């Protein structure tokens, strides 16, 4: 199974537009905490990647561009579905019965301004 392509700004705007049922053009560039929390949940469901953001990192995401950077980095860090250490570790826990609850990768988002791979 191939993972979806990393989201770009247009994709993030489209996801945000479904929050409060509006057009992508009506999405404000500045994100509120509720809107950001909703976006992260939507992203995790759509991409099957669990974001692990510290409170400090969450606080740095204030704009659509900030969110796009974090979400793109998470998809790139996770790699193709079924590969990479995060997915393999989760699959290993599931196979051993140690409490993994489903497929997917866990990705720690890099700090804002960090170089992309």
pTM passes above 0.75: no
State the CB neighbour count (10 A cutoff) for residue 6. Answer: 17
Q: How distant, in Å, are the alpha carbons of 13, 65, 87, 96 from that of 68?
A: 9, 5, 22, 35
Q: Give the C-alpha separation, 59 to 13, whole Å.
A: 19
Q: Give the tens place of pLDDT for each residue, 58-115.
A: 999 999 999 999 999 999 999 875 444 343 333 333 333 444 344 444 455 555 555 4
- Closest by CA position to 49, among listed 94, 17, 82: 82
| 9-103: CATH architecture | Orthogonal Bundle (1.10)
Q: Give the span between the Cα atoms of 45 and 36, in whole angstroms.
A: 14
pLDDT tens digits along 13-48: 999 999 999 999 999 999 999 999 999 999 999 999
């Amino acid at each position: 199974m191939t993972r979806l392509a990393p989201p770009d700004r247009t994709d993030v705007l489209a996801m945000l537009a479904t929050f409060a049922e509006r057009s992508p053009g009506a999405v404000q560039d500045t994100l509120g905490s509720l809107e950001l929390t909703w976006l992260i949940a939507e992203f995790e469901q759509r991409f099957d990647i669990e974001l692990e953001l510290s409170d400090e990192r969450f606080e740095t995401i204030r704009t659509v561009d900030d969110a796009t950077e974090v979400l793109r980095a998470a998809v790139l860090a996770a790699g193709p579905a079924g590969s990479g250490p995060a997915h393999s570790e989760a699959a290993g826990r599931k196979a051993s019965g140690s409490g993994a609850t489903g497929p997917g990768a866990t990705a720690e988002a890099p700090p804002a301004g960090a170089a992309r791979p």
